[in-house]
Structure 1
Amino acid sequence: MSPRALAVYDGSGIDGSLYTRVNGWAQSAPHWLNDVIKVWSAIGLGLFAVFMVYAWWRARGADSATMAKVLASPVIVVVAYGVNSVLKSVVDELRPCAQIRGSVSLETCPATGDWSFPSNHSVIAFAAAIALWSVSRRLGVVATVFAALMAASRVWVGVHYPHDVVVGAVVGTLVALVLAPLAGRCGPLVDRMRASALRPLLGTGAVPVVTHGYQPYGTRQH
């Protein structure tokens, strides 16, 4: 056996019993429910791209710092995915559907080499959701709910342990919490971009509120 094979990790000792319980629920669930969860698990990440487009559209009338965070949200997701890929290469954890006898996956169980820890889907979903929190609290709440549903679906379809998706959520959240505030500092760059040919795409920004009949202190004429 090669040294690489010896490094393969069995994560069933962490929460394999919980995975087995959830897998049992999935096996006894109605076919229509499993079909819905299977489709959501497979293509649901596209919804977060829709959230980002919606955030961009709304940010066209917002301040430049907000627009900077919106523009940075896809970058934040890519960085989070990159960080997660490093973790996957360090911890070569076998998929539970390949490790736990009697488990059934609703989608094809990934082959050895497509490691389980942490969950890419969970990382991407939570990185996108937390990045959107800095743009709109309401949108952030909605995106976070769907991120949790995405993470849960990966366990339900049988391709991840619960700890895979929990750690994935933590990784995505931490990366977004670090990078989103930094992106907000690029507001001056967005100001310059809004003054260029990109203005139709970036909007004019927030309009200052003017209170009629009032002049700020120091501006009154004597």
Structure 2
Amino acid sequence: MDTLTHVDDSLLADVNAFARHTGWLHGPLLGYATYGIVVFAVLLLSAMLVSRTGPSRSLAAAGWACLATLVAVGVNQPVGHLFGEARPFTTHPELLILASRTSDFSFPSDHAVMAGAAAAGCWLVSRRLGWVATAAAVVMAFARVYIAAHYPWDVVAGLLLGAMVTLLGWWLFRGPLIAVTGWLRHRPLLRTVFPEPTSAQVTAGRDATPVGTRT
């Protein structure tokens, strides 16, 4: 544990030194670290739009991606209280602090949990969206360390926890989620918004099988 803490502190110091020499990045990365949740909301909305006329399996995955992101952040709350890790800016006053000073716990990072969950959910829908979301998640994780809001291990653990909640939940509840989605899209109010795919769309979709699909 002492070795991990030393590595964590060392990486934080390296990133903070980089931050001191890249003043031109302060604004963009602080903005993204604070408001980047909007990017993931857009990605999840894109997943819903991509799946809107697709098979129920794809639409269910998109719906679960949205729900799992909220579930993952909820799961993280007791985990954070369990570890009770203080923020870097309270234990390392010598750091360049760009983050707002908050009183909540540092490990795991809520922002990284959200990003990891959303990225994993996008992979369930589309490889292209998955790659974009993964890149956005990595940048979010780096940005949270860059502004000294978290230690590196906080964001790594957050990404892993978020992805685990999404993927484990899909593995456990995929069948019921697909069944409920198929039933819902036959309801009059939803039929026009989420129409069932045509045979041509089903055939085309076979060439873009998302991660997690059995063939």
Tell which deviates more after alignment, 186-195 or 70-79. 186-195
* Residues 13 and 94 (structure 1), Cα distance of their counterparts in 2 relative to 1, 3 Å cut: farther
CA distance in 2, matches of 1:117, 1:69: 28
CA distance in 2, matches of 1:183, 1:47: 27
Matched, 1:69 2:61: yes
CA distance in 1, matches of 2:48, 2:78: 30
Matched, 1:168 2:158: yes
Shift of 1:101: 3.2
CA distance in 1, matches of 2:122, 2:45: 11
Q: Pick from 85, 90, 93 the counterpart of residue 77 of structure 2.
A: 85
Q: Pick from 135, 139, 146 the counterpart of residue 129 of structure 2.
A: 139
CA distance in 2, matches of 1:149, 1:183: 30
Q: Match for residue 210 of structure 2?
A: none
Shift of 1:129: 0.5
Flag structure 1 segments of 5+ consecutive residues without an equivalent: 1-10, 211-222
> Could you tell me the percent identity over the aligned residues?
34
Q: Structure 1 length as normaliser, TM-score?
A: 0.83
Q: Pick from 184, 187, 194 the counterpart of residue 193 of structure 1.
A: 184
Shift of 1:183: 4.7
Residues 103 and 158, structure 1, Cα contact 8 Å, conserved in 2:
yes
Q: Match for residue 95 of structure 1?
A: 87
Bigger Rg, structure 1 or 2: 1
Matched, 1:128 2:123: no
CA distance in 1, matches of 2:196, 2:38: 28
* Residues 133 and 206 (structure 1), Cα distance of their counterparts in 2 relative to 1, 3 Å cut: farther
Shift of 1:196: 1.3
* Aligned residue type for 1:38: L
How do 1:109-128 and structure 2 match up within 5 A? 109-111=101-103, 114-128=104-118
CA distance in 1, matches of 2:6, 2:86: 12
CA distance in 2, matches of 1:194, 1:117: 40
Shift of 1:13: 4.1
Q: Match for residue 27 of structure 1?
A: 20
Kindly indicate which of the two structures has a greater share of residues assigned to helix: 2
Q: Match for residue 58 of structure 1?
A: 50
* Residues 34 and 46 (structure 1), Cα distance of their counterparts in 2 relative to 1, 3 Å cut: same
Q: After TM superposition, where is structure 1 displaced by more than 6 Å over at least 4 residues in a row?
A: none
CA distance in 1, matches of 2:122, 2:162: 12
Q: Match for residue 151 of structure 1?
A: 141
Shift of 1:204: 2.0
Flag structure 2 segments of 5+ consecutive residues without an equivalent: 204-215
Q: Match for residue 44 of structure 1?
A: 36
* Residues 207 and 61 (structure 1), Cα distance of their counterparts in 2 relative to 1, 3 Å cut: farther
CA distance in 1, matches of 2:106, 2:87: 5
Count of matched residue pairs: 197
